[in-house]
Every structure is written in C-alpha cells, then in structure tokens.
Amino acid sequence: MKTPGLKHLYWLLFLGILSTLFHSSCNVSKTERNLSLKERLHSIIDTVPGTVGIAFISDTDTVTINNSVHYPMMSVFKLHQALAVANEMNKRHSSIDSVIHIRTDELDSETWSPMLKTYGDLDFDISIRDLIRYALTVSDNNASNLLFKYIASPSATDSIIRSIADDTAFRIACSENEMKENHTLAYLNNTTPLSAASLIRQVYESSFTATPALDTIRKDLATVTTGLDRLGAIIPQHPELFFAHKTGSGYRNDAGKLVAHNDVGYFRLPDGRTYALAIFICDFSGTEAEASEIIARISQEVYILLMNQPS
C-alpha cells in the first residue's frame, strides 16, 4: 500500500516541477520576444538624426521606445478631433449628417486643403460627416479648422478625449490655423506614442464613443491617402489584412529640423491577431522621404516578427 502512494507523490512532484518549468519558459519567451523586438528597432533608430518614439500594443505584449517624450502630433490630432466631434454631436442629439453653411472668407486658400478643389471660390453647404472625412482621409486643414470653430474647440476636444481615452498622455491646445501663424505652437499639440497607439486601438476594439459616427471614423481611417510611404508601405497586400492609420507631418523649425513626421496605425492580420503601432519622429535633420523610410522599416520589422510567431 505504501509503494503506490509514494509513486503517486513522486508523480505529483514531477508534474509540479514540469508545470513550473513550462510557465517559466513561457515568461522567458515573452521577455525574449520583447527584447528581440526592441533590439531590432534600436538597430534602426539609434543612428537617426532625431528623436524616434515607438509604441506597439498587441493582445499579449506592449513594447515602447522613447515613450517618455511628448511628440508634436501635427495632423495626428485629427484622430482625436474626429472622435471628439462624434462625441459632441451625440451629446447634442444631432446627426453628423447635419449641414453647416460655409463662407469663403472662413477658409484659408494658402493651407493644405484638397476640399477647396471641390468647392472652389463660392460659399457652400457641407455636412459634419464630410468635414470629418476630409480631415481624416486627406488631412484637410480647413476642414479641421471648421470643426474646431463650429463643433468643439481645441480645449473642448482635449477635454472630451481626456474623458474617454484609456491613456491621457496627450495635449491638444491649438488649431491648424494657429500653428500656421506660429510654427512653435506645433509643440503644444503633443502625445506619447503609447497614448496614440492606445487611442486608435480603442477605435477598433471598443465602443467607447458609442455614437453612430464611429463606423464612419473607422472607415475613414482605413481609406487615408496621406503618408502611403510610412506604416503600410512595406506590409504585403493581402485581401484579409486590415490596415487603418492617421498621419501627421510637421514644419521645419528655426534650426532647419523637421518638427514632426508621424504615423499611428491599427492592423488586423489574416489570422485574426491585431496590433496598434505608433511611430513619432521629431526634430529630424533629414528629409521627409528619409523619415518615411524609417517608419516603414520599423513597421516591417514588427510585421515580420509577428508573422514568424505562432498565432
């Protein structure tokens, strides 16, 4: 009777040791993956003539590099703005299909504004939905300025998103028009990479806005036409791979450096895994094409690492 009991005890002890070793190896594997990704990314950014911030969020891992810096967002803030407008319209019990009348003297003909090619030099009516679409898909500055003027100011936008975002390490303080008049104000609209990655992840994995406009925003982000040489440039085209993003591009400061060159995106792989990736480059001495190439290479490294991991 004693022998079977002893064998049973040994067997339980063996299983306990095996379980401990298994869980230990899993934890080491996750750590090694993070270190491996960080090492790969550092090999790209360590010699870059500027500051590069990166945040990667998946279902199992979060990896950041230089996340303590607050980077000028430039047009990335239009993601925050679209969500704030949707939230505000919902609060007013108004539809984003509501129309506002725009006078030509409300528009800046010397800013980036593809919208002007459509509406020309005449007064016109436009829906809030279309202003959101212009602001997101082509990063139209006039559309953004109008949304700040008629729906939610920069400070109101900041307050609204601060009330619904998981990560509030951002600030929105001025409009495109104000930044155009004084380029140094671009540094006031800022974010950490992790905050931006977290927000775009919320857009697709949470119903935090709970508005009819959320589907519109999701579709708009998936049809962005700016910055096609950045996050999605080196990712293979696949009918079952989903990609949505928002870019931001900055001025040259007094030292001749590029204030900002950014992209924040959300990916859904063919096997169903998802991740958010935000890359911010500030005070960069190179060209915009060189900054875009850095973003594309980082995105490629993340994609390759994930595709080599079992789902």
Task: Please give the positions annotated as active site.
Answer: 75
Q: Among positive and negative, which fits the CA dihedral 58, 157, 78, 150?
A: positive
Task: Determine phi and psi for 67, rounding to 5 degrees.
Answer: -80, -10
d(CA 63, CA 13): 36
The CA-atom distances, in angstroms, between 259 and each of 42, 149, 170, 178, 285 are 21, 25, 17, 16, 9
Give all strands of the β-sheet with 258-268 in edge-to-edge order: 62-65, 51-58, 274-284, 258-268, 242-249
The CA-atom distances, in angstroms, between 112 and each of 72, 94, 137, 140, 145 are 18, 29, 13, 6, 11
- Contact assessment for residue 145 and residue 126, using Cβ atoms and an 8 Å cutoff: no
d(CA 49, CA 224): 28
CB within 8 A of 164, min separation 6: which ones? 83, 87, 208, 209
Q: How many Cβ atoms are within 10 Å of 104's Cβ, its own excluded?
A: 13
Task: Determine phi and psi for 198, rounding to 5 degrees.
Answer: -65, -40
CB within 8 A of 161, min separation 6: which ones? 80, 83, 84, 168, 170, 172, 199
Read off the amino acid at residue 250.
Answer: G
Quickly tell me which residue has 């803030």 as its tokens.
Answer: 77
d(CA 18, CA 21): 5
CB within 8 A of 150, min separation 6: which ones? 100
